Amino acid sequence: MTRDAVLPIAKEEILRQEQIAREVKNRPDCPRTYHIITYGCQMNAHDSETLGGILERMGMRAEEERDAADLILFNTCCIRDNAERRAMGNIIFTKEIKKTKPELLVGVCGCMAQQEGFSDRLRKRYPHVDFSFGPGEIYQLPERVLMALEGRREEAFKAGEDSTLYEGLPVLRSSPFFAYINIMYGCDNFCSYCIVPYVRGRERSRGMADIIKEAEALVKDGVQEIMLLGQNVNSYGNDTNGPRFHELLRALGETGIPRLRFMTSNPKDLSDDLIAEMARNPAICPHLHLPAQSGSDNMLRAMNRRYTRKTYLDRVRALRAAMPDIGLSTDLIVAFPGETEEDFMDTLSLVEEVRFDSAFTFIYSPRSGTTAAKLPGRIDPDTARDRITRLIAVQEKITAEVFESLIGQEAQVLADGTSKRDETQLTGKTGRGIACNFEGQAGQIGQIVPVTITGFGSNTLKAKQIM
């Protein structure tokens, strides 16, 4: 796909979809309730907030119980095989619900729906599913629902563009004090194991003025923390020759937002300018998710990550020189095709050297259509399980040591609710991104509360309010 394939969606098309939404709302057979099931990353979570906003505009209201809803929408992920299988199992099960509720509409959207040939297979093999669309066609949801209601089945499954760019869609936020903002869509990196560029398209950055306007509205609405989203936020602006990511962060810091986070960052694009802005800007939380994927140069080359172990460690040293108290988290893949025991030991030694606060660890999952799916040297399941077990054990030990080192330190926690185990305890995340529980009042939910760390559990901190 060329850069010319990026399709800005005209305001007229958004207005046309709004008109269709009103038309659907006035139909006697319009669903009155909906239930969205979301799989995958924060990008999908935010997409579901947009889907909810569109459905509310169509006159529907959210239904907590899946089986009681008039419309069930699956927002899917295809980054790993287990996520795809789990989604398909639940999609297939809705056939049973339709046996007693034939008027139920079932839709499938997200990354799975954008895979080549998927929508046709879905339409032909699962007649109880009524429509589908990819992540680049969220704005078309009203029209897809209308097609389903009118029985235009083939049109309701038509696969479209992945590289669209649109503004002005309604968002039904899941939190009054936390919000996502997409700053860019798609990815140009083509890591050999990753399906994302094929289902979300090439990188396209939103205009900085649009992002700032959205952030200012959120601040005015009382939002305390914004998470900026993109497959590789570090490359923001590269496709437009406009402002770069560190310039966007500086402008966002001037909106008055108390806390800024962002993900995901590719180490190869982590510039000195960005590190300097992170250290300078008081709104930016002292945490960075920096996926390493492997500590072996052999594996990094095979993954097409375009950095080396040395350059990764150099970036870590630069971050900690600028921000000594920054917390780092990462993603790690074991059992990538061709991974030797020596390669795996390089990953273990990277973890021990960097000392991440936490790590998301995965056994390699082949994705059809990617370069890695064709690589020889598949690792047998027993070896893969052994390696992931050893990696998790090393990281858990480091996490406990990091948490212990934080005892006695002060932190700022955005309280987002009460603890499930103890209603007298509030829970939230520190600036470093670690879950933290402390005694507090329900009226403090949504506030940033100063605390002193007093202890820790397996993956949470314990604290006491500073009065």
Residue 457 has pLDDT above 60, yes or no: yes
Mean pLDDT of 335-343: 98
pLDDT for residue 1? 34
d(CA 442, CA 27): 42
Band (11; pLDDT cuts 50, 70, 90): confident
Residue 4 has pLDDT above 50, yes or no: no
Least confident range from 11-20, 148-157, 175-184, 287-296: namely 11-20
Mean pLDDT of 393-406: 98
Domains 9-165 and 178-404 share a fold: no
For residue 298, give Cα distances in angstroms to 309, 343, 433: 10, 7, 31
Residue 182 has pLDDT above 90, yes or no: yes
pLDDT for residue 83? 83
User: Which of 176, 163, 184, 331 lies closest to 262 in space, CA to CA?
Assistant: 184
d(CA 54, CA 165): 17
Residue 22 has pLDDT above 80, yes or no: yes
d(CA 374, CA 205): 31
CATH topology assigned to domain 178-404: pyruvate-formate lyase- activating enzyme (3.80.30)
Look at residue 421 and give its three-state secondary structure.
coil
pLDDT for residue 3? 39
Residue spans of the domains in the chain: they are: 9-165, 178-404, 410-465
Band (62; pLDDT cuts 50, 70, 90): very high
Least confident range from 54-63, 255-264, 412-421: namely 412-421
Convert the pLDDT of each residue in 186-200 to its tens digit: 999 999 999 999 998
Q: Please give the angle made by the CA atoms of 314, 320 and 325, to the nearest 5 degrees.
A: 160
For residue 161, give the DSSP letter.
Answer: -
Please write down the HEC assignment for all residues of 88-152.
HHHHHHHHHHHHHCCCCEEEEEEHHHHCCCHHHHHHHHCCCCCEEECHHHHHHHHHHHHHHHCCC
Structure tokens, 425: 């305890």
d(CA 385, CA 344): 12
Residue 117 has pLDDT above 60, yes or no: yes
CATH topology assigned to domain 9-165: Rossmann fold (3.40.50)
User: Which of 64, 203, 51, 62 lies closest to 134 in space, CA to CA?
Assistant: 51
User: Which of 31, 36, 67, 72 lies closest to 52 in space, CA to CA?
Assistant: 36
Q: Quick check: pTM over 0.85?
A: yes
Contact 436, 444 (CB under 8 A): no
Look at residue 404 and give its three-state secondary structure.
helix
pLDDT for residue 5? 45
pLDDT for residue 175? 95
Query: Mean pLDDT for the chain?
Result: 94
Convert the pLDDT of each residue in 76-94 to its tens digit: 998 888 888 899 999 999 9
pLDDT for residue 269? 95
Percent of the chain residues topping a pLDDT of 70: 98
pLDDT for residue 7? 57
Least confident range from 164-173, 205-214, 269-278, 449-458: namely 164-173
Exposed e or buried b per residue across 54-81, where buried means at least 16 C-beta atoms within 10 angstroms of its C-beta: bbbbbebeebeeeeebbbbbbbbbbbbe
Omega prior to 399 cis, within 30 of 0:
no
Exposure on the CB side of residue 67, measured as CA atoms within 13 A: 6
Helices 272-280 and 309-322 meet at what angle, rounded to 10?
30
d(CA 32, CA 26): 11
Residue 10 has pLDDT above 80, yes or no: no
Convert the pLDDT of each residue in 123-174 to its tens digit: 999 999 999 999 989 999 999 999 999 999 999 999 877 677 788 899 999 9
Residue 12 has pLDDT above 90, yes or no: no
Contacts of 54 (CB under 8 A, 6+ apart): 21, 138, 139, 141, 142, 169, 170
d(CA 161, CA 234): 24
Structure tokens, 444: 């403090």
Residue 325 has pLDDT above 70, yes or no: yes
CATH architecture of 410-465: Beta Barrel (2.40)
Residue 247 has pLDDT above 60, yes or no: yes
Residue 419 has pLDDT above 90, yes or no: no
d(CA 454, CA 461): 8
